[in-house]
Structures are given as structure tokens and as C-alpha cells.
Amino acid sequence: MAAVAYRVRLTAVNTLSARPVVLVGVLVLAAACATAPLPPRGAAPEPAAVPGFVFARDTFDFANLIRARQPDVEDLYANYCFVLARGLRQFAQFARFDPARPKLDRAGYVERVREIAARPVWRPAAPAGARVVIPGYAGLREFSRAEEAAVKEGLGARFWTLVHWTNWRVTFPVSGRHQENVAREIVDELRAGRLVQLLVTNWPKPELNHTVVAFEAREVAGGVEFVVWDPNDPAAPGLVLFEREARRFWASRLYDTEPGPIRAFRMYHSRLL
């Protein structure tokens, strides 16, 4: 997300009381160190990908835009990366597409998307019979291409994502142990079949304060490579590397971001986080 988006979010967050936010943040960081570390290099890797998730079918067709690149465009769909990343997970967990059913009008689709977006994303995935049915389309990519306006309206506003208290974490220093445990948690979640939303940042560099969704992990030389969906780039997957020896994340391929060290935090995986 561009620097402008970060300044908007940080200004809004600064209106909250800092003391309880920082205290809870410290407790969260401490708790994150309780998980097991990644297995050493050379250990037999297990599959770590969300079963059935297909990038070309199960992601949004439109992008979150960067305001700094188009400063004079009104009504720009910018600063919605958190809405889209959370929405991607909500569709994966609570929606079911049925191309054989008759299509709805725009109002009908808006209502269906709102119902999906209203479900807390940290809850377990719903069984097929309890999912919201999207008729007339085979997947999210096709649906969001044809019904872009309805999908955007149904997903809702960005305000509460911009001022979410966990956004403070971009200013926190973190240890290598903490980042190693985040990497381990991502792998564990993927092996359990769940998408993982990440807050990624290279603050204090005013370039990357953004969110992506990991859907696959693979062992590579020197660490673990995470394949992610980037709301800013619907055309192709992005890559984030966890360097095992340095115990840090590295932006290998994220939209409009120079390759380099970053920090990563999990998002929307519990009522508080």
C-alpha cells in the first residue's frame, strides 16, 4: 500500500488511546513466541497448500489501486487492500458458487456479498449446506469480473480496517524468534487447509504497509517461500520468502515494492487479532 495510505491509517489510529493498545500488542508478541520453531533445513517437507484453492478461479478479478499513482482520479478504489484480503478469505470459507442456477440482479448479488462479508473471518469454514450460494457463476474471479460494482458495494467500506488497532504493529520491533514463529504458524495453517492473511511492512521505509493472503508454502534453498495473493496485483501470485538463517521475511515479489527485508504479522485469525 502506498505511503499515503499508511499515513491515513496511522493518523486515524493515533486518535485511539495508545497505552492499552501498546500493552495488548506487547502481550500478543510475547504470546506468539510460544509456538514451535520451523523444522531445520533438510527435514522432510510436508505439503503446505490450501486444497482446492486455484489462483485463477478463487481470487478477485479487480485490484486495490494505489492513490499515489493516480492522485487526480476521483472515486478511486484505493486503500481497500484489507477489505479485499479479508473478503477473499470470507468467500473461501462461507460462499459456494453454482453456475447452473439463474443469475440475480445487482441488488440480489449485493445482498449475497454482504451476507458473506458479515461473517467473522476467524470462524471455521462453513459446510456446503450452510454457505451463501452465488448463482450463475463458477468462481470468484468470474463473478467479480462480471459483477464488479455489486461485489465492491457488498464488501463494504474500508474505514474500520484503516483504524483497526492491530495496525499499530507496523511500528513494533520484532525478534527473529517471533518472525520464525509467524512463519511456522503460516505453514501450520496452510497444512490445515486455511488461507492466512498477513500484515506486511518495511516501516520506517514509507513504502509497504499492506496485506496479502498466503495460500501455499514450499521449501527452497535457505528457507520457506510463501506464495501469496496480493490485492494490488490480481494478475499473478506474489512471493514472500522466510530466510531460515537470518530468521526474517523478505519481499521477493510484491507489487510496487522493492525486494528487501520486511516484517510479517498474522491478521484476523481470532476475535482480537
94 and 220 in a common domain: no
Q: Domain end: 161, 176, 200, which one?
A: 161
pTM for this predicted structure: 0.82
In a domain, 36, yes or no: yes
pLDDT of residue 173: 83
43 and 101 in a common domain: no
Residue, of 203 and 122, whose pLDDT is higher: 122
DSSP the chain: --HHHHHHHHHHHTTS-HHHHHHHHHHHHHHHTTSPPPPPTTSPPPPEE-TT--HHHHS-SS--B-GGGSTT-TT--BS-HHHHHHHHHHHHHHEEEETTSPPP-HHHHHHHHHHHHTS-TTSPPPPGGGSEEEET-SSHHHHHHHTHHHHHHHH--SHHHHT-GGGGGGGS---HHHHHHHHHHHHHHHHTT--EEEEEE-TTSTT-EEEEEEEEEEEETTEEEEEEEETTEEEEEEEEEEETTTTEEEEEE-TT--SEEEEEEE-SSSS--
In a domain, 55, yes or no: no
Mean pLDDT across 82-109: 98
Assess whether pLDDT exceeds 90 at residue 9.
no
In a domain, 35, yes or no: yes
Minimum mean pLDDT among 54-63, 158-167, 179-188: which range? 158-167
For 215-243, the pLDDT digits (tens) are: 999 999 999 999 999 999 999 999 999 99
84 and 149 in a common domain: yes
pLDDT of residue 19: 40
Provide the domain count of the chain: 2
260 and 228 in a common domain: yes
In a domain, 189, yes or no: yes
> If you average pLDDT over every residue of the chain, what do you get?
84
What range does the domain containing 19 cover?
3-49+165-266
pLDDT of residue 17: 35
Minimum mean pLDDT among 42-46, 50-54, 113-117, 265-269: which range? 42-46
78 and 10 in a common domain: no
CA separation for the pair 63, 85 (Å, rounded) = 11
pLDDT of residue 107: 98
For 200-213, the pLDDT digits (tens) are: 998 876 667 889 99
In a domain, 273, yes or no: no
pLDDT of residue 221: 92
100 and 193 in a common domain: no
